[in-house]
Amino acid sequence: TAMAAKGGGINDTTIKTADTDSDLQPIEYKTLNWYKVDISRVVVFYFLGFLSLGILQLVSYWFPRVKCFIIGQRCEARSATHAMIRDLDNDWNLIKIHSVHFNN
């Protein structure tokens, strides 16, 4: 399972998996989209999920693009909080980005 993603451009994107805690491993993908999550949209998402008796959360679990469509806005990589990745098996994954900043 993916725990962290990092990268400034599409070609240098890597993810850290729960199986390998030491180094970041490269990932192969077909599509990579960057999203910034808005907290007000997250509140609306969970409110709609409550009204639908959890059906919205179930659908968004099966189809992560639904959740991303509701809670996120597309943006550039440097301001993104999440990445939507379609892998080589055509599976979509929504991954939270953990940024690491280094002092020069």
pLDDT digits (tens, 9 = 90+) for 28-87: 778 888 888 889 999 999 999 999 999 999 998 998 888 888 888 888 888 888 888 888
Provide the 3-class DSSP secondary structure of residue 23: coil
Check if the beta carbon of residue 34 is closer than 8 Å to that of residue 80. yes
**Residue 49 is encoded by which pair of tokens?**
């999920």
- pTM of the full structure: 0.59
Provide the 3-class DSSP secondary structure of residue 14: strand
Q: CA–CA distance from 43 to each of 33, 37, 48, 69, 72 (Å)?
A: 22, 11, 9, 14, 12
Provide the 3-class DSSP secondary structure of residue 41: helix
Looking at per-residue pLDDT, the higher value among 5 and 56 belongs to 56
Q: CA–CA distance from 64 to each of 20, 55, 84 (Å)?
A: 24, 13, 8
Tens of pLDDT, residues 17-27: 444 455 666 66
